[in-house]
Structure 1
Amino acid sequence: MMKHGLDPGDRRRPERLTRPELTARREAMERFLHVATPQLDQLYNLVCLSGCNVLLTDAEGVVLDQRMSEADAAQFRDWGLWQGADWSEAVQGTNGIGTCLVEGRQVTIHRDEHFHTRNIGMSCMDAPIWGPDGKLLAALDVSSARADQTERYNRLISAQVAQTARAIEAVFFRASFPEARIVVASDEGGDAAMLLAVDKDDLAIGATRAARRALGLEREGAIRPRPAADLLGRDDDMSGFDKAERAAVTRALARAGGNVSAAARALGIGRATMYRRMARLGLGEKQP
């Protein structure tokens, strides 16, 4: 990889951060790592018998967390697949973690597809994880030390890595908007990470990267609050005020278990007024 001035025959291990440097990076992503931990454990339980190392990096390719068996630890340590190691493409050339982060997509780098000859004994399956702000946040990697690992088996692991990355992304998005209602922004259910955060006024105030792309929202950073119904295309012939009133009346009725008198009291209006509004909004019959 000439643009980085790297030598494919370089046998040196990847440089590792000092303990204080690694601690500082982990503390900066503490909330994210806490959310990701159960998903990492689950992924490792699925792949541990195949001699795999599960790694989670930051957006710069530094390994922050990992799971592996003691039997494979020596090999992975020798390769430098260890906490604190820098696996950016600028440092390591073509590799699962670095290439995934540079290209922002799922990749599999199998054995001799690695840039450094010392890395050709491994297969690496990676998927990017995007933050609530639409920016690249991390890479999830599963690397195998087994010489007999087939490309077909790698494809199965790769699919699980992608699924786990999307799950981590979705869980962290939900945790980032604790006061909001989380809405799936697709009726087809094809992407579990296509989510919107909607506030109490039914305004969309946050969106995952998949939702941003699908709905034409700002690519990165905070999004301009917009009515969720407008974004989701769930509209009708009513005016904005009528829709808001209908939503308020519907919520009051639901909370009152369908009791019109109780719902009217909750809204601060009389029972007769409640019936008139229900009739106008298509929510019930006029008062007899």
Structure 2
Amino acid sequence: MSGNRVRHSDHVLKTIQSDRAAAQSAVAASWCRSAYRHGLDPATHRRRDRVENTGLIERRQANETLLAAANPVLDNLFNNVGRSGCCVILSDIDGIVLESRATAGERALFDAMGLAAGAEWSEQAEGTNGIGTCLIEGRPVAILRHEHFSSRNVDISCMDAPVFGPDGRLVAALDVSTGRPEHGSELAGMILALVQDAARQIERDYFCQHYAQARIVYAGDEKTAGSALLAVDKDDLVIGATRAARARYGLGMSGLTAPRPLGDVMGMADPVGLDAHEAKALRQALARCDGNVSAAARELGIGRATMYRRMERLGLLG
């Protein structure tokens, strides 16, 4: 092992032995997890774990809808960062690389670093690293070269953002990694912003594909949590919500165990009662027929005289 890697291992061990290590920084806290919770050694040279062949195919099949939404975004992100010596990776919830993008000239280098399909980058396997630490902490992270736990990873810098699924739960990590030493903290910050934007786009597209048969209600963007989207069925019942929507409307992770009226979720509940629902149906029919009462009555399957009587009873005339 090179002197630089020996020094790195010694520095990691000295840091985690400090009584105040976990409080010093999020990286130091991750180093402590890596050593004490996962039992890892920063100087390890063990072979990298990799899922291959059938195992990788099964993982991709299990994440088929996610990958359908993610692949165009991965391509676009790689077009933005690939020429600067970066690879783009999407891992599953276990830190297994499902997809990777790299230039032909650098693919072998990234493969040797373990940045290829099937490689495992969980924090349990590799210690502090972009993918694994992002998945453990559920937040965007940038782990630069010397911030990795394992000395064998100090040639890599990683910028990662979590990807949350249609039910608001964490499902993947989006990663941009580079082995170029000239990529410092300023460039890492800019790349991390691109990664976060791409992760939020994957979430939006994944949600819309998952609820392709529903109406999607857009309720705005949250700065860090992404787009607040609600999936609504034909009866105006909310059947799905993104993580941002769950936070905005106080739904939590268990707030949609059963469908809920859209108005109730958004705090704009419609009047309750059969008359209120009948009035709504009549108004909608009239709107679709440009105010033509006869046409609206035909659409509702009732006679014109009945339509007038109901409109009068519900205060819709005049």
* TM more than 0.5: yes
Moved over 6 A (4+): 279-282
1:198 paired with 2:232, answer yes
Does the Cα contact within 8 Å between 1:133 and 1:220 map onto a contact in 2? no
From the superposition, tell whether residues 49 and 229 of structure 1 become closer, same or farther in structure 2 (CA, over 3 Å): same
Matched residue, 2:298: 265
How far the C-alpha of 1:245 sits from its partner, in A, is: 3.1
SS at match of 2:227: coil
1:11 paired with 2:45, answer yes
1:79 paired with 2:113, answer yes
Matched residue, 1:136: 170
Task: Report the Cα distance in structure 2 between the residues aligned to 1:157 and 1:36, rounded to whole angstroms.
Answer: 18
Higher mean displacement: 81-90 or 193-202: 193-202
Task: Report the Cα distance in structure 1 between the residues aligned to 2:312 and 2:208, rounded to whole angstroms.
Answer: 37
Letter in 2 for 1:160: L
How far the C-alpha of 1:38 sits from its partner, in A, is: 1.0
Does the Cα contact within 8 Å between 2:262 and 2:269 map onto a contact in 1? no
1:244 paired with 2:277, answer yes
Matched residue, 1:253: 286
Matched residue, 2:126: 92
Higher mean displacement: 47-56 or 11-20: 11-20
Choose from 208, 225, 235 the match for 2:242: 208
Stretches of structure 1 that go unaligned for 5 or more consecutive residues are none
Identical aligned pairs, as a percentage? 52
SS at match of 1:99: helix
Choose from 157, 168, 171 the match for 1:123: 157
How far the C-alpha of 1:285 sits from its partner, in A, is: 4.7
Does the Cα contact within 8 Å between 2:226 and 2:244 map onto a contact in 1? no
How far the C-alpha of 1:78 sits from its partner, in A, is: 1.5
How far the C-alpha of 1:261 sits from its partner, in A, is: 2.4
Rg (Cα) greater in structure: 2
Matched residue, 1:113: 147
From the superposition, tell whether residues 189 and 99 of structure 1 become closer, same or farther in structure 2 (CA, over 3 Å): closer
Matched residue, 2:83: 49
Letter in 1 for 2:302: I
How far the C-alpha of 1:259 sits from its partner, in A, is: 3.2
SS at match of 1:127: strand
For 1:59-70, what aligned pairs fall within 5 Å after superposition? 59-70=93-104
Higher mean displacement: 152-161 or 270-279: 270-279
| Count of aligned pairs | 283
Superposed CA deviations along residues 57-104 of structure 1, whole A, max 9, x for unmatched, are 110000000111112212211210110000000000000000010111
Letter in 1 for 2:75: D
Task: Report the Cα distance in structure 1 between the residues aligned to 2:124 and 2:239, rounded to whole angstroms.
Answer: 36
How far the C-alpha of 1:109 sits from its partner, in A, is: 0.8
What's the RMSD between the two structures over aligned residues?
Answer: 2.3
SS at match of 2:80: helix
The normalised TM-score by structure 2 is 0.81
SS at match of 1:194: strand
SS at match of 1:46: helix
Superposed CA deviations along residues 248-287 of structure 1, whole A, max 9, x for unmatched, are 23432343344332222111234455456557767x652x
Choose from 54, 71, 94 the match for 1:20: 54
SS at match of 1:252: helix
Choose from 174, 197, 205 the match for 2:208: 174
Task: Report the Cα distance in structure 1 between the residues aligned to 2:254 and 2:118, rounded to whole angstroms.
Answer: 28
Task: Report the Cα distance in structure 2 between the residues aligned to 1:279 and 1:164, rounded to whole angstroms.
Answer: 54
Matched residue, 1:163: 197
From the superposition, tell whether residues 247 and 2 of structure 1 become closer, same or farther in structure 2 (CA, over 3 Å): same
Task: Report the Cα distance in structure 2 between the residues aligned to 1:189 and 1:81, rounded to whole angstroms.
Answer: 31
SS at match of 2:78: helix
How far the C-alpha of 1:192 sits from its partner, in A, is: 4.4
How far the C-alpha of 1:221 sits from its partner, in A, is: 8.8
